[in-house]
Each structure stands twice: as C-alpha cells, then as structure tokens.
Amino acid sequence: MAKYACKKCGAELYFDPAVGKLHCEYCDSLFDPSEFDIPGEESEEEAKTDTQTGREAEAEEQSTDDSEGELVVYSCPNCGAEIITSKKTAATTCVYCNKAITLEGNLSGVFKPDYVLPFKHQRDEVEQAYLKLCKSSILTPPAFTSTENIKKIKGVYIPFWLHSFTGDGDFNIHAENRRTWREGKKEITEVSEYRIHENVEADFTRIPTDALSTADDDMMDSIEPFEFEELADFNPAYLAGFYTQRWDVTAKDNESRAQERAKKTLRADALERAGVYSSKTIQAESFDWTEDQVESAMLPVWMMNTEYKGKTYTFGMNGQTGKLMGKLPTSWARVIIASVIGFALGMVIAMFLRMAGIMKCASSGSAVIPTPMGLLVGVIVMAIVLLILFLLHTRSSPSMHARSAAKAEETRGIHHNVVFLGTHRSVRIIEDNDD
C-alpha cells in the first residue's frame, strides 16, 4: 500500500482535478504525478510472464486472505486500522481516518493499465450539476437532494479496454423507388426494385468497453465520449483520493461489444453509399475484423447509487467532460399535491368565469358554489398541470441509450454494384362520393 507524501511538509497528497496535479492541502504545494516513481514497475517481458501464482503470492505478502478468498485485510499506512476490502480493489479510503489508500500491488503485472485519463471535474462541480438536475423537476423525491444522499457521490476510476481494428463489411441491399399518380378514377403505383452490393471498410481507434462485471454497461456507454488525446501513461499517483478496482472482464469477452458498435457504423455507411431510393433494406451482411489491438486504461467517472422504494437509481458523470446521466424517480406524494393545487386553480378560474358571466352559476346564483361545468374546468386544469409537470420531469432526466455507433477514423467504399430487378405497377380504383 502507498500514500503520497508532500516533498515539502510531509502531509498526504491528493490528486486535484482542477489543476491536474497532486495537491497538498496543508502547504498548498503542487506536484506532477510523474515526479513520483511507480513502485514495482516491471519490464514488458516480465509483465507478460507474470503468472496467476505470482500475483497470489504478492497479494499474500501484503494482506491476509479471508476463508473464501474474496476479501483481504490491509493495514492502513496512516492510522494502522485494519481495512477489509475486495481483492479487486486498487484504491479506496480508510473508513477510520478518511485518508486515501492506493493498493498498488492490485494493479501490477497483467492488471497494470497502459493509460489513465485524469479527472478534470471536482467534487463540488459534480454536486452542483447533480442538484441542478434534481431541482429541475418538482416531482423529484426530496430524499435525492438530501445532504446524506449527496455524500454518496464518489470519484471512481473504471477499468476500460480500448479496442482498435479495421472492419470490413459486405452488404446485400434491397432498394425500391416508388411513385404514385392518378389517371381519372385510377390511382397507379409504380415500384422499381434494385439489388445493391456494397463492400465498405473502416478504421476504428480506441472503442471503449468497461472491464468491470459490476458496472452498468448502458451507463458507461451513455457518458461517452472520452477525449483520449489526454490519456497519460499510467501512474498510481493519479488514483490518490479516488476509488478503483482492477478489471475482471477480459478484452476477449468484450470484443463483441466493440464490434457491434463498429457494425452500426459500417451499416450506416453502406446504406448511404447505396444511393437515394424511396426505401433501402439490408437483406444479408457479413463482417471481417483485422489488425486488432487492445489497450487498457483507467477512465474517470463520478458515481452515485441511491435506493428508493426498493429500486436502485444510478447516476454517473464523465469525470473528464462533465456529461451527466441518470434517471430521476417520481414522488407520488408530490404528484398528489400538484393534483390538488391544479384542481384548486381550476376551480378559481371557474369562479372568475362565473363572476364575469361567461359561465352560468348554480341555482342559488352564488358564484362560489361549484357547478358541473366548474368541476369540469377544475379537472381539465389539473390534467394540464400534471401533463406539463410529467413532461418537464421526463425531459429533466437525461435517459441512457443503447450502445451508439463507433466513430471511424476513415471509411472506404471498396465495391459498389447495382442490379435493376424490374418494375411492377398496381392500380386502385377511386370511388367518387359525389351525390
């Protein structure tokens, strides 16, 4: 285990996203992570020959395993307290002294990332963005803006695989051109059909797939993109003050996820190259992948999980770009309150309409006694208020999406061929309704 001490006063250092450096809260000194050596750094050859037995032996030296082998006990280097955590944990915080702890041995050998993408957004920025999201709808449950709930937000480095390859897609496309015209009482439709063959190729660079089995894949996909131009060579000093775990999903297991995103790009490119038709449908397709290359990186994510009425709600923010994703639940207590207020507003409107003589009063002639029409106005206004509130509530939650198409460095049309299949017509008799 390691902590990073200030070279001037000896106090503990934390990575500060605002300046991109390790910051001493006591003497305000700043240090670049590259100023600190990477403990236990091995050569590429040594890393490749690192075996599972070797990693287990290393973990045994640093910790005491539990009986099931899933948990380990570490001694905090700051206060000496015992910390029980998962073997996969690589950076955490001591629950006793609240100091950051980096478990460097858990990111060695084959588990050592190639790169790290440093956090750029600080915790206070994340809290402000989250509160703005929650307060954008009055139907958000009050528990979501409580101080206790906001404390659950934590910065996490998520392990990702970055896939690069060249994709080749071969497509058979059925296309139609359709036109319709009238001749007297006849409506004639002419359909011309074509068979199109498209072969396209594209280069894909660093398609990210999260390498944690416990991570929400849709959430991780939704907070993209990451700007990989800012990747830095991995140094555990970047982890100081944040949580992280080593990967437990292999690059091979994630390969199909990356390829599926590339397929969407190739399909869209093939349909565009096919030309302009009334309709186009891919009837058959095949893919080939070459020049595969995989890198590993720790990417920054601010995360929070909240339990509400037996359901878990997850919020995530891209720690580099600030893109926030998550779905807000609906407080039905606030819906009832809004319904009452909306109905009351409708009744007030109805009363003014009666006083103005636009609506008839009850038989007593009193403007304050509800009439059936007044009750109807109250219900209509209540429905309008609820509709507006639900629309605003839905729009306030940035919904997670399915995996988007991967961005290609370059797409190339390799082959294009069009075969005209023929034309056929259909006729419909239009009946006149004139008497």
Neighbours of 271 (CB within 10 A): 19
Q: Model pTM?
A: 0.75
Q: Are 317 and 223 in contact (CB under 8 A)?
A: yes
Nearest to 190 by CA among 172, 169, 176: 176
Q: Is the pLDDT of residue 99 over 80?
A: no
Collapsed DSSP state (helix, strand, coil) of residue 319: coil
Distance CA 90, CA 379 (A): 57
Q: Are 180 and 189 in contact (CB under 8 A)?
A: yes
Radius of gyration of the chain (CA): 31
Distance CA 53, CA 67 (A): 18
For the chain, which residues make up each domain, given as ranges?
A: 155-328+400-426, 332-396
Segment 76-86 shows an average pLDDT of 61
Is residue 68 very low, low, confident or very high in pLDDT (cuts 50, 70, 90)?
very low
pLDDT score, position 295: 95
Mean of per-residue pLDDT scores for the chain: 81
The pLDDT tens digits of the residues spanning 159-213 come to 999 999 999 999 999 999 999 999 888 899 999 999 999 999 999 999 999 998 8
Peptide bond into 39 cis (omega under 30): no
The pLDDT tens digits of the residues spanning 384-424 come to 888 888 887 777 666 655 556 677 777 888 888 999 999 99
Q: Quick one: CA dihedral 410, 414, 420, 426, positive or negative?
A: negative
Q: Is the pLDDT of residue 66 over 50?
A: no
Q: Is the pLDDT of residue 65 over 50?
A: no
Q: Is the pLDDT of residue 349 over 70?
A: yes
The pLDDT tens digits of the residues spanning 123-171 come to 999 999 888 888 888 888 888 888 888 888 899 999 999 999 999 999 9
